[in-house]
């Protein structure tokens, strides 16, 4: 069926990313669009069919289902569909049917691909903001170079140097009140703002010393009498090199940051020093030299700043979480060494292993501890008491350093998880032979074990035996697959998110439990099926594709989805730290732009589709 280009053009003008196209290009696209009327239940396309092009709902609703007929979403006017198949191999990755009568617009495949090639904004929207990596995955757009390479102080944006929420006072505030405000907030300057939040001046501790105390002025004098008026400022988008240039050129130690004239933060010489001092390497060096738990806690207290710095340097999530986990590993090893120095040498060989996010090398700014202790079967009753004391000291030390006790008590200080190798072998054999719900949960956690300190040969023997036995037991594998489907991505049918309905986090989504955990669970099953020894989620996904457990297309889609979800989680945590709050895992979709919401939802759709495929036994074919 034909279409009226003028009507289509008016429709497209208010839809992203069409609104980014030049007028001539947009008019050409409108002219190329084909209008199709779908009666109730009619399919625009079915799974596996060659796609004619990209579809856009003009009127009515369209239901999207996956390869197994499971509903993915219900789309309404202005929503696109079909792009995933077009960006892969040109064949439909889902089925699209009209719910009631519907009208859709179709942009022919060749015209769509030409737009992707010619328009960066259009391409970013329909490729989920991703750029291909050599390993077949994808990375979020805007990353600053290859993994391991971060921004220098000169190239970092000013917004990433601002370490806390702005602290200000009114012009009429007395200098005594200003001094108390600086003392209480542990800062050396205040922005002076008018009633609209616009910056009119700055007052520093030096101003109070030179212009008040040294001059014998009354502490009740107003700040506006001693402040520096109309100070030089920088926008959030400025670079660290601009900060360095202004501080050196003007001899100042404080630079206000403004946005549309409003005061949004302060960069100080202390911030620059802190940036240079907070790197994973520096923290690990300080941890290695720490003589007690207090010194270790002082070092781990700088982890939030490290998180902000790494995210601000556009590092990918796997680099950020690996470096943060490296710090946790260093703390664990140092605590083990301090405990051994007090308790004496170990009576028999042992290995301290981490599970959970530390085991997978995926720690963020918000984590607890999950660990266990495996020791040689030759241990006597007296030897066991030595290991119990070791576990108590290390776990207590980790808690003092910010790695809080595991709510589920999955820690070496819990007697069940401090046992000789033979007991651990019995644990895994029992879980595999009798995969009840508790066994599934425990096996899921323990399959993420990674040795941290001690004799890793004990761990290697346990892992090799366990992977072989588990992969050969089809009943256990089936239970593990079922367990991996328990955490669903937070998708609402009406093109939105299924947010938390009540409580402290109402209208938010849990980016851990419903974001990264579903992918982590999938990757663990793939690793089990292919006997992959890696425990890192991304490494498991890439290895699963390499071994044929995942198809190339399915593997790349899932890695891309995981990258986007994990990057968004870290960006959210870094933003919380910059605002002076503790990082957590809860994200309000309303805090994201329409572009970000669209791509995050697309990533969740990929995860749900892969869960459905695994649940229906369609893994490698996906």
Q: In what order do the strands lie in the sheet with 228-229?
A: 168-169, 189-193, 199-204, 228-229
266 close to 162: Cβ distance less than 8 angstroms: yes
| pLDDT-flagged residues of the chain (< 70) | 1-3, 127-155, 249, 273-278, 493-495, 618-622
* Polymer length in residues for the chain: 622
- Determine how many CB atoms are found less than 10 A away from the CB of residue 42: 14
Rounded CA gap, 297 and 105, in Å?
59
Residue-wise pLDDT tens digits, 123-150: 777 764 333 332 333 333 333 333 333 4
Q: Which domains does the chain have, with CATH numbers?
A: 5-127 (2.60.120.10), 158-275 (3.10.580.10), 279-473 (3.30.460.10), 485-615 (1.20.120)
pLDDT for the residue numbered 69:
75
pLDDT for the residue numbered 619:
58
pLDDT for the residue numbered 443:
83
Residue written as token pair 């994973």:
280
120-to-53, 97, 115 alpha-carbon distances in Å: 19, 30, 9
Q: What is the pTM of this model?
A: 0.69
What beta strand segments (E) does 5-86 contain? 34-38, 43-45, 53-65, 71-75, 80-81
Q: Interior CA angle at 477 toward 473 and 479, to 5°?
A: 120
Rounded CA gap, 483 and 394, in Å?
31
pLDDT for the residue numbered 154:
65
Q: Interior CA angle at 474 toward 469 and 480, to 5°?
A: 85
Rounded CA gap, 575 and 582, in Å?
10
Three-state secondary-structure class, residue 246: helix
229-to-192, 199, 417 alpha-carbon distances in Å: 9, 9, 63
Burial 552-572 (b: 16+ CB within 10 A, else e): ebbbbbbbbbbbbbbbbbbbb
- Determine how many CB atoms are found less than 10 A away from the CB of residue 181: 16
């Amino acid at each position: 069926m034909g279409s009226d280009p003028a009507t289509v053009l008016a429709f497209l003008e208010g839809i992203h990313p069409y609104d980014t196209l030049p007028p001539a290009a947009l008019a050409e696209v409108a002219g190329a669009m084909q209008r199709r009327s779908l009666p109730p239940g009619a399919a625009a396309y079915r799974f596996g069919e060659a796609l004619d092009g990209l579809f856009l709902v003009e009127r009515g609703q369209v239901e999207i289902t996956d390869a197994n007929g499971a509903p993915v979403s219900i789309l309404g006017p202005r929503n696109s569909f079909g792009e995933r198949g077009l960006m892969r191999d040109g064949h439909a990755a889902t089925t699209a049917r009209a719910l009631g009568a519907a009208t859709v617009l179709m942009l022919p495949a060749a015209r769509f691909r030409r737009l992707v090639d010619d328009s960066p904004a259009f391409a970013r929207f329909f490729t989920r903001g991703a750029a291909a990596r050599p390993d077949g995955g994808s990375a979020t757009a805007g990353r600053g170079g290859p993994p391991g390479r971060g921004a220098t102080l000169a190239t970092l944006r000013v917004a990433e140097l601002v370490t806390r929420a702005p602290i200000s006072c009114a012009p009429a505030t007395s200098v005594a009140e200003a001094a108390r405000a600086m003392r209480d907030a542990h800062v050396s300057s205040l922005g002076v703002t008018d009633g609209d939040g616009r910056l009119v001046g700055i007052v520093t501790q030096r101003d109070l010393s030179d212009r008040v105390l040294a001059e014998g002025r009354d502490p009740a004098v107003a700040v506006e009498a001693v402040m520096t008026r109309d100070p030089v400022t920088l926008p959030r988008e400025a670079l660290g090199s601009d900060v360095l240039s202004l501080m050196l050129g003007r001899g100042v130690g404080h630079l206000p940051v403004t946005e549309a004239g409003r005061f949004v933060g302060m960069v100080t010489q202390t911030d620059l020093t802190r940036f240079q001092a907070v790197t994973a390497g520096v923290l690990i060096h300080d941890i290695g030299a720490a003589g007690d738990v207090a010194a270790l806690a002082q070092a781990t207290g700088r982890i939030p700043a490290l998180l902000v710095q790494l995210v601000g340097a556009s590092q990918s999530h796997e680099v950020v979480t690996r470096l943060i986990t490296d710090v946790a590993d260093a703390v664990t090893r140092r605590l083990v060494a301090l405990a051994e120095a007090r308790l004496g040498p170990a009576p028999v060989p042992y290995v301290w292993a981490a599970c959970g996010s530390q085991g997978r090398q995926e720690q963020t700014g918000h984590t607890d501890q999950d660990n266990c202790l495996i020791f040689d079967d030759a241990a006597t009753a007296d030897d066991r008491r030595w290991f119990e004391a070791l576990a108590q000291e290390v776990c207590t030390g980790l808690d003092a350093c910010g790695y809080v006790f595991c709510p589920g008590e999955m820690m070496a200080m819990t007697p069940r998880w401090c046992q000789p190798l033979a007991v651990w072998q019995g644990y895994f054999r029992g879980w595999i032979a009798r995969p009840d719900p508790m066994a599934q949960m425990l096996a899921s956690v323990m399959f993420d074990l990674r040795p941290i300190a001690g004799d890793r040969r004990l761990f290697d023997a346990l892992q090799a035996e366990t992977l072989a036995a588990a992969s050969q037991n089809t009943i256990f594998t089936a239970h593990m697959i079922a367990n991996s489907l328990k955490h669903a991505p937070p998708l609402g049918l009406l093109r939105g998110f299924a947010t938390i309905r009540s409580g402290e986090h109402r209208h938010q989504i849990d980016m851990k439990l419903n974001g990264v955990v579903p992918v982590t669970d999938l990757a663990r099953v793939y690793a089990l099926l292919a006997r992959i020894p890696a425990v890192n989620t991304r490494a498991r996904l890439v290895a699963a594709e390499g071994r044929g457990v995942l198809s190339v297309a399915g593997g790349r889609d899932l890695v891309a989805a995981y990258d986007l979800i994990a990057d968004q989680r870290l960006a959210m945590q870094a933003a919380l730290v910059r605002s002076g709050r503790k990082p957590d895992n809860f994200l309000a979709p309303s805090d994201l732009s329409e572009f970000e919401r669209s791509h995050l939802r697309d990533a969740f759709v990929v995860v749900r589709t892969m869960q459905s495929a695994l649940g229906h036994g369609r893994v490698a074919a996906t």
